[in-house]
A and B are shown apart, each in its own frame.
Chain A
Amino acid sequence: MNDYYGYTGKTLTVNLTTGTWMTGILPQELAVNFLGGKGFGAQILFDRLNSGVDPLSQENIMVFATGPLTGTPAPGSSRTVMSTKSPLTGLWLDSNCGGFFGPELKQAGFDILIIEGRAPEPVYILIENDRVEIRPAGDLWGQDTFKITEKLKARHGSRHMTACIGPAGEKMAPIAGIVSEYRTFARGGGGAVMGSKNLKAIAVKGNKDIKLNDPDIFMRVLKEVYDRLRTVSAIGGGRTRYGTNVILSSVNEAGIHPVRNFQKAVFDGRGRINEKELAEKYYVKNRACFSCPISCSKASKVAAGKYEGSFNEGPEYENVWAFGAQCGNSEMGAIIQAEYLCDKYGIDSISAGNITGFAMECFEKGLITEKEIGFSLKFGDDEAMLKFVELLGRREGIGELFSNGVASAAEEIGKGSGYFAIHVKGMELPAYDPRGVQGMGLAYATSDRGGCHLRAFSVGAEVLSPAGKMDPLGTDKKAEFIKNNQDLFAVIDSSGLCLFAASSMSLEFIVKLMEAATGIKDFGSTEEVMKIGERVYNQTRMFNVREGADRRLDTLPGRLLSEAMPDGPAQGHVVQLEPMLNEYYQLRGWDQKGIPDSATLERLKI
């Protein structure tokens, strides 16, 4: 493969310690075996990092990788994946972002940007096609993400796409994210890693073409894809109008919408917080990422009440949950304001909301006091919730302890709080209670980056269960579904596509697009591509195994394993994890400790 199609064929490595940068050729075998995005990160991190590296030390590296479809006309081709060792979990992290950063990086001529070392003083990286500069950022340090974005655009031009950290990243909060054009590489603490490197921002602008191997076939397939997207207008239409909140009432109705730190799963405040209310009273504008026909993102504004004037991109479903039901809050204005604060300070809103609910429960149980917090922190108190989020973002007062995540905070607080610290491997769980969708329990427990719903997502398949194939409250067929879904999602996260667009078009079309874009025959086979997904998932597993992870970490919080759901359709149920886990390991070719066996590694050429 001398000429690259779909890919740019080039990598950029910036060493912040030495203040130097170099370009390289994308290795052919890396592309063929690991596809792109997450796959590239999985292989590069495994090769380059020794086990036991402190995530916040200069030895850690960050890999921003695009996929073969990033920046092409394929729908939802906006994605970049940032991989690093997580300061939140001490394990593998890949964090995915839409917007425009990835397509711009590719148009500048790079598939991959690797950041090494630590700058002696705050800096930002400027990439303009082949020109790369490491510039001082002393004047930017201490400022929030909105101001940084504005300043960089004013300085270099509005078409420069940025990724930056806020004060939380500078202070190396393990829940700090990297904000890019109002979207975020949110989960797992990538912002803290960037802060540890004294790297405030990256600004990129390019104008090179992304060459396609067979543009005619690509465009023909694209037409088929758009025809298909039109036939699933119930999906696209609903999401375009209601955003990701299209599922809000449905999740509540299914009894899996966690309330007050997963104490129950049907939220009584839903009357005031629902998708219809959001669309009619708060959404003011649709926003779309690069080449997206869905426009799931919304800009919202509070027109009246005590939060009048609050404005932000969002709120996403996860955040409506995180600062709504999770905190017992039914004041929509406060939810929008909370998400604004998360973006401003640069913290992961799922973790922030989960942590706030955890802190509220600690307070109500008398494990932390008003004196320690500085104010009363009861469930349902929207003003206290916002004050607490400010402390998390600024990493001040009690916010310093809690911005380490619930696992770390529970260890410090003790007194049994670990039982209701809702995380997996140190990463806070998102907005689906697995007691009512058992497969999600397995998905969370075996997620390579910790408590995450985007490594496998079985909610639709379980709750809607077309033709009665799965019972959400049973364990049958769950292991196979989750394993296959993880492999599929690893493919999508390596391709450069957004999960929403990809799940609307099906793998059959994705492989046609990838083959037409790259000319790589194997990418035209669903079987071969799924094998790449399996390889990527096993590679990240091996990264974690090397860090000491095994079955002991593939578990769930005590509450979800032993406290029966008190209400809704899943009343009386806990997660039955062990039988699903045994079957899952067997299907994966892992031993009962969760370690991939030699035959599996050999089969996948790892």
Chain B
Amino acid sequence: MTVTVTVKIYAYVSAYDGPREISVELPEDVAEAVNQLLAGPCSKLNMDWGSVNHLLINGRNYHLAVAEKTKLKDGDILSFVSMFCGG
């Protein structure tokens, strides 16, 4: 089963010049969805420092979402965010 989610890409990759917000159809399983995302529409983000460490799903950390076996729903927001290193 697939769902339609919004993917947002914030300022963390200053060199990234692709679209900053896309709508995409993905599997509801989080890990599978993110693998598909990084192999496809967000392949430019799959950098050596580890995109998934900068991924929030509805504001929650990707790793927690996997551990909690979260299923994606229509309208969910996946955000690739920056390092949080103070301001």
Contact = CB atoms under 8 A, between A and B. Distances in A.
Interface of A: 232, 234-235, 237-242, 244-251, 253-255, 275-276, 279, 316-318, 321, 430-431, 436, 453-454, 457, 459-460, 463-468, 471-472, 499-500, 503, 568-570
Given A255-B59, A454-B86, A569-B58, A249 B10 contact: yes
19 contacts: A234-B13, A234-B49, A234-B83, A238-B13, A239-B85, A248-B87, A250-B56, A250-B81, A253-B56, A253-B79, A254-B81, A279-B11, A431-B87, A436-B59, A453-B86, A457-B86, A465-B64, A472-B61, A503-B85
A472 B61 CA distance: 9
Contacts of A237: 13-15
A255 B79 CA distance: 12
Contacts of A466: 50, 53, 63
A236 to B, nearest CB: 9
Contacts of B82: 238, 246-247, 249-250
A234 B47 contact: yes
Task: Please report whether the interface of chain A is mostly helix, strand, loop or mixed according to DSSP.
Answer: helix
B85 A568 contact: no
Nearest to A318: B87
A16 to B, nearest CB: 35
A247 B14 contact: no
B86 A253 contact: no
A503 B87 CA distance: 13
Interface in B38-54: 47, 49-50, 53-54
A247 B10 CA distance: 9
A238 B87 contact: no
Nearest to B57: A569
A459 B82 CA distance: 12
Contacts of A463: 56, 61, 81, 84
B76 to A, nearest CB: 12
B20 interface: yes
Interface string B4-26: 00001011111100001000000
A237 B84 CA distance: 14
Contacts of A242: 11, 14
B87 A250 contact: no
B15 to A, nearest CB: 7
Given A238-B83, A246-B82, A249-B81, A464 B66 contact: no
Contacts of A465: 61, 63-64
Q: Which 6 A-B pairs have the closest CB atoms?
A: A317-B87, A569-B59, A468-B63, A250-B81, A460-B84, A241-B14
A275 B9 CA distance: 12
Contacts of B60: 569
B84 A250 contact: yes
A481 to B, nearest CB: 14
B61 A468 contact: yes
Given A244-B87, A245-B87, A471 B64 contact: yes
A503 B86 CA distance: 10
B1 interface: no
Given A238-B13, A464-B54, A250 B61 contact: no
B61 A464 contact: yes
Contacts of B87: 244-245, 247-248, 251, 316-318, 321, 430-431, 453
A235 B86 CA distance: 12
A563 to B, nearest CB: 19
Contacts of A240: 14
Nearest to B52: A466
Contacts of A234: 12-14, 47, 49, 83
Contacts of B63: 465-468
Contacts of B79: 250, 253
Contacts of B10: 249-250, 253, 275
Nearest to A463: B84
A275 B11 contact: yes
Contacts of B53: 464, 466
A247 B61 contact: no
Given A247-B83, A500-B86, 6 more contacts: A234-B13, A235-B83, A250-B79, A468-B63, A468-B66, A471-B61
A338 B81 CA distance: 28
A254 B62 CA distance: 12
A576 to B, nearest CB: 17
Contacts of B59: 253-255, 436, 568-570
Contacts of A464: 53-54, 61, 81, 83-84
Contacts of B66: 468
Contact of A499 (B8, B13, B54, B86): B86
Nearest to B67: A468
Contacts of A457: 85-86
Contacts of A238: 11-14, 82-83
Contacts of B50: 466
A210 to B, nearest CB: 27
A244 B66 CA distance: 30
